[in-house]
Amino acid sequence: MQLFSIFGDPVSHSRSPLMHNAVFKHCNHPACYTRTHLLDGAKLKETFFSLGLSGANVTIPHKEAAFAACDEVRGFAKKVGVVNTLVEENGKLIGYNTDADGFMYAIREFQNVKKILVLGAGGTAKALVSRFLEEAIKVTVLNRSATRLAYFKTLDCDIYTWDDFTLANYDLVVNTTSAGLNSADLPAPKELIEQVLQNTHYVADAIYGKLTPFLERAKEKNIPYKNGADMLLGQGVLANALFVQNKLSKETIQNAMEKSFLL
């Protein structure tokens, strides 16, 4: 029996156990997926091996710590320095990132997206922005504080804090902050959010399981939007394929995983 887990702080809201266990049960794969509340990201590797895990997912605020903990990082995660999926391989910790492709899957119905405003500058923003740049999309990043913005400047993005923001037109605005996850907070001051929503065709939010205050405002304005559930499904399918070492097709995984969203 293999054991998998999700690490995060907070982690009690995570749907990952339901999603992955639905696949394991449907396919009679001998595995179980649980959740681990991890306060200190520096203890990630030691906790992973002491629990005897075969693989894991990582959520806020430990994705950058997960990158640092890996013996080897593969694919897109190497480019962005952010890991959301861990797999044990011959006693070593291998890291991947499946968030960005999961997001592209979620917004596939949105046409002609060439200019994106990203709200937030954390691990999710890093992954998504690098993926957008691969598609030659022009990216602006707006964050509450300045420190994390420096990285995005090196990628040639326009960067702003709330204090120096200059409005432009966007095709899509994406909330990658955790504002609204457990509060009524908007990802930026109300006046600024109102202006931004008046100047975009589409809106998306990485947060899942609820209509965030940000998406509530987009809905009021009849702006087409996606919440984080489709992104979550996409990253989950790709992570599960890594966990079962591609023994199941992605279509089989997706069909089983989608049923868990009805639970």
Cβ proximity to ligand NDP, 10 vs 46, nearer residue: 10
3-state secondary structure of 246: coil
Cβ pair 121, 141 in contact under 8 A: yes
Shortest distance (Å) from residue 93 CB to ligand NDP: 19
Cβ proximity to ligand NDP, 209 vs 224, nearer residue: 209
- 45 flagged as catalytic: no
Residue written as token pair 């997926």:
33
Shortest distance (Å) from residue 210 CB to ligand NDP: 11
Shortest distance (Å) from residue 1 CB to ligand NDP: 26
Using CA atoms, how far apart are residues 256 and 105, in angstroms rounded to an integer? 17
Shortest distance (Å) from residue 16 CB to ligand NDP: 9
Which residue's Cβ lies closest to ligand NDP? 122
Cβ proximity to ligand NDP, 112 vs 163, nearer residue: 163
Per-position DSSP letters for 111-147, written without gaps between them: ----EEEEE--SHHHHHHHHHHHHTT-EEEEEESSSG
Phi, psi of 92 (to 5 degrees): -110, 155
Cβ proximity to ligand NDP, 108 vs 114, nearer residue: 108
Which one of 25, 43, 45, 63 is the catalytic residue? Answer: 63
- Sequence-distant (≥ 6) Cβ neighbours of residue 230 within 8 angstroms: 102, 105, 106
What's the DSSP call for residue 201? Answer: E
List of residues contacting ligand NDP (CB under 6 A): 59-61, 63, 99, 102, 120-125, 143-145, 148, 176-179, 181, 185, 187, 206-208, 228, 231-232, 235
Positions marked active-site: 63
